[in-house]
Amino acid sequence: MFGENNILPILDYGHKHFAENKVQEAMIKWPSLKKKYKNIQLHLIGKLQTNKVKFALPLFDYIHSLDNIKLAKKISHAQEKINFKPKIFIQVNIGNENQKNGIDEKDLNLFFETCKNELKLNIIGLMCIPPNDNMTVSYFKMLKNLNDKCELKELSMGMSADYLDAIKYGSTHVRIGSRIFGQRS
């Protein structure tokens, strides 16, 4: 976990967007920082479990990992209670990998429409973590096409190793923490 000492120089410089993988770690360091630095936009890029939704909202301004209907319903209910709608990315299992989370491409349209129209979620884009099979660019193209079909403006894809390719294919949000802070211990 990177502590405040790692983050303060970047906050003082004026950077606004930060991400966390885990709700528990964010709860330790970000509430006081968000009070002091009013413009912080906090992104949850890791898996969100339904039992953590009440802690994630309103701490996180963005959720990059909506991956099932149970979670969508839980977020919908929680956002009504606190009158706060986070910006949400639907995670797509772009490589159809059994070990990864995400909505299957064939189920995306119905899931998106349900989240947007019935559950009133603020869906702003799609997100993927492509397979590590040297075909990353083709997955980025596929997700960009799906995002365009849904008429969404934001796209969350690309990490420290492939973010330049992701940007070429329209990524508006990249995960490059290890490029900035180094590898986690």
Convert the pLDDT of each residue in 141-161 to its tens digit. Answer: 999 999 999 999 999 998 878
Give the pLDDT confidence of 28-80 residue by residue, as tens digits. 999 999 999 999 999 999 999 999 999 999 899 999 999 999 999 999 999 99
Under 8 Å between Cβ of 123 and 116: yes
Residue with tokens 């990490």: 159
Place 1 in a pLDDT band, splitting at 50, 70 and 90.
very low
| pLDDT, averaged across the chain | 91
What per-residue confidence (pLDDT) applies to 10? 84
Residue with tokens 């039992």: 51
| 35 burial via Cβ count (<10 Å: 0-12, 13-18, 19+) | exposed
Six-digit token string for 21: 């993988």
What per-residue confidence (pLDDT) applies to 184? 55
Helix axes 4-13, 23-36, angle to 10 degrees: 40
Q: Which of 164, 169, 108, 109 is nearest to 138 (CA)?
A: 169
Domains of the chain with bracketed CATH: 45-180 (3.20.20.10)
- DSSP strands (E only) in the chain: 17-20, 41-44, 62-66, 87-91, 122-127, 154-159, 173-175
Would you report the helix, strand and coil content of the chain in percent, each value rounded to 5? 45, 20, 35
